[in-house]
Amino acid sequence: MTSRRTPARAAGVLWLLGAVVYVGGEAIAAAAFPGYSYAANYISDLGVPDVEIYQGRAIDSPLSAVMNSAFALQGLLYLAAAILTARAVPGGRWRALLAPAAAFAVGSALIGVVHGSRASAESGIGWVHVLGAALAIIGGNAASIAAGPTARRHALPRAYAIASSALGAVGLAALILLRIDSGTTGFDLLPDGAWERLAVYSITAWQVLTGVALLRRRPPGTDDDGRRARTG
């Protein structure tokens, strides 16, 4: 029991820590960015080190290094938490999270290294930033969806399983609507920044949900105090 419980608790802590690092880094960088709008600006605007006008948005992020560090650290914590979660739960079913978690980690690193900026676009590497964003958003939300049916087999509440899959579905739907909204003039339901945050915060919310669920989870066959229940 102890060998399984320790990775589960460590995974829970890492899921929560990743969410705090990401949201905290974003808030700190946004506070230093003059006129930053959570609705109109993209998240990656906070990671651009140059002062410029790009795609009609004024970019001036004095603490871009904070945001880029948060991108990279969030990816590492996410992948580490996924690995520990797969180790903590018997049966190997949680290993389905590892591939999308790796995609999320790689994507987060790419976002932090290759900025969504004029310099990246002019040097021909802007597509790397777009690829990173796609890997992170699709990978993170795919992991949430995969966790739903898996969780129901491993002593996690039904409500968690439903919420997990729902968060992933909402995140992917928001990404699709972002592409539609930003690519057409006849469809303008929400600002681009709002769609993007819905696609990203669904992942962050899932990290918090999963962290709490793992910290509260009791291994099968234990009583309310965490002791092995007696039979017979």
| 143 within a domain of the structure (yes/no) | yes
Question: HSE (CB half, 13 Å, CA atoms) of 6?
Answer: 2
| Bridge partners, residue 52, by sequence | 59
Our count of domains for the chain comes to 1
Question: HSE (CB half, 13 Å, CA atoms) of 17?
Answer: 16
- Answering whether pTM is above 0.85, one says yes
| 9 within a domain of the structure (yes/no) | yes
pLDDT in tens, the chain (232 residues): 445 568 889 999 999 999 999 999 999 999 999 999 999 999 999 999 999 999 889 999 999 999 999 999 999 999 999 999 888 776 556 778 899 999 999 999 999 999 999 999 999 999 999 999 999 999 999 999 988 877 666 567 788 889 999 999 999 999 999 988 876 766 678 889 999 999 999 999 999 999 998 888 765 555 444 454 444 4
Beta-strand ranges (E) seen in the chain are: 52-54, 57-59
| 30 within a domain of the structure (yes/no) | yes
| 19 within a domain of the structure (yes/no) | yes
pLDDT confidence of residue 232: 40
Separation CA 155–CA 15 (nearest Å): 18
Helix axes 158-183, 192-216, angle to 10 degrees: 170
- Is residue 111 helix, strand or coil? helix
For residue 194, give its domain range: 2-216
Separation CA 68–CA 64 (nearest Å): 6
What 8-state DSSP symbol labels residue 222?
Answer: B
Length of the chain: 232
pLDDT confidence of residue 48: 97
pLDDT confidence of residue 223: 45
| 231 within a domain of the structure (yes/no) | no
| 230 within a domain of the structure (yes/no) | no
| 118 within a domain of the structure (yes/no) | yes
| 232 within a domain of the structure (yes/no) | no
